[in-house]
Amino acid sequence: EKARKAHADLCVSIHADASVKSHAHGSSVFALSEHGATSASARWLAKKENEADLIGGVNLAVKDPYLARTLLDLSQTATITDSLKLAKHVLKEVGHINTLHRGHVEQAGFAVLKSPDIPSILVETAFISNPSEEQRLKDDAYQEKMARAVLGGIKRYFAQNPALSKPRMAQSD
């Protein structure tokens, strides 16, 4: 909702991971899973029913609920694809700063990733439950390196996927 109000081209949520195992370590990057997308789309569509709104340039105030759902599903699928592209770029850059918890982009149904029209990723910078990684997380230099790595991944993503001009809609507060 905040990203949409800001007319954002993407959403990046930054976290510190935790585990009951103090030896767990590494950074991760997540995008939405297809399974998470379906339930998020259903909730979003229900909330927006009877409202005229634009998602990816598509007006969802159509009378046919099946058509609206299909349009929303197409938009969500395209958004997940873009989120995965973004996540891969960010993961590669973050991998230069910290070891990776897994060697690939992970997918999950985190609420912060469920925008049907804004590519969104969640970055787990390190494990706060790991004493050595906790110290790194407190270090200004590490924070700066991690921030630059995330930014580098975003820049690489936009270099290959330029942001489209989004229509500026009147805000209804």
Distance CA 173, CA 5 (A): 10
The type of residue at 47 is: K
**Torsions phi, psi for 6 (to 5 deg):** -85, 0
- H helix or E strand, kind and range, residue 41: helix 34-48
Q: What is the pLDDT along the chain (173 residues), one digit of tens a residue?
A: 788 888 899 999 999 999 999 999 999 999 998 775 545 544 544 454 434 444 454 555 666 777 766 666 676 778 899 999 999 999 999 999 999 998 899 998 888 888 878 899 999 999 999 999 999 999 999 999 999 999 999 999 999 988 765 555 444 44
Distance CA 149, CA 139 (A): 15
CB 115 within 8 Å of CB 11: yes
* Coil, strand or helix at 124: strand
